[in-house]
């Protein structure tokens, strides 16, 4: 989904609606209300598109930072797991050596 287009559309519609309400409240003629409302809709759409681009950039940077954090955490956990497995293997080998030397000779 294109975040900038979504936000721009919402800004444009709100600009149009608010301009219509303001024109009606000021008792302007309908032609003036609609012409000004269309201009405000276009202006608000452009502003909303810029805001959406900034919001999209912030969201992608946050997602990248979060992905790096998760990757670092996973790497640390995997490293700790590998170290534990190596330690367990060494302990098992040492126990096997101890058992082998403890067997009485016939």
Question: CB within 8 A of 41, min separation 6: which ones?
Answer: 12, 13, 15, 16, 19
Q: How many residues in total does the chain contain? A: 106
pLDDT interval class at 49 (50, 70, 90): very high
pLDDT in tens, 20-43: 999 999 999 999 999 999 999 999
Give me the residue spans of the domains in the chain.
Answer: 3-98
pTM above 0.75, yes or no: no
Please compute the mean of the pLDDT values over residues 61-86 and round it to a whole number.
90
Per residue in 75-96, pLDDT (tens digit) is 888 888 888 888 888 888 777 7
Is the pLDDT at 2 greater than 80, yes or no?
A: yes
pLDDT value at residue 104: 63
Written as six digits, the tokens of 85 are 């497995």
């Amino acid at each position: 989904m294109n975040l900038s287009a979504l936000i721009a559309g919402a800004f444009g519609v709100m600009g149009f609606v608010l301009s219509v309400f303001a024109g009606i409240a000021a008792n302007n003629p309908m032609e003036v209300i609609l012409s000004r409302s269309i201009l405000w809709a276009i202006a608000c759409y452009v502003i909303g598109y810029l805001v959406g681009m900034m919001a999209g950039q912030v969201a992608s940077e946050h997602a990248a930072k979060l992905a790096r954090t998760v990757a670092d955490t996973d790497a640390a956990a995997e490293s700790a797991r590998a170290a534990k497995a190596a330690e367990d293997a060494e302990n098992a080998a040492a126990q096997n050596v101890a058992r082998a030397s403890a067997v009485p000779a016939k």
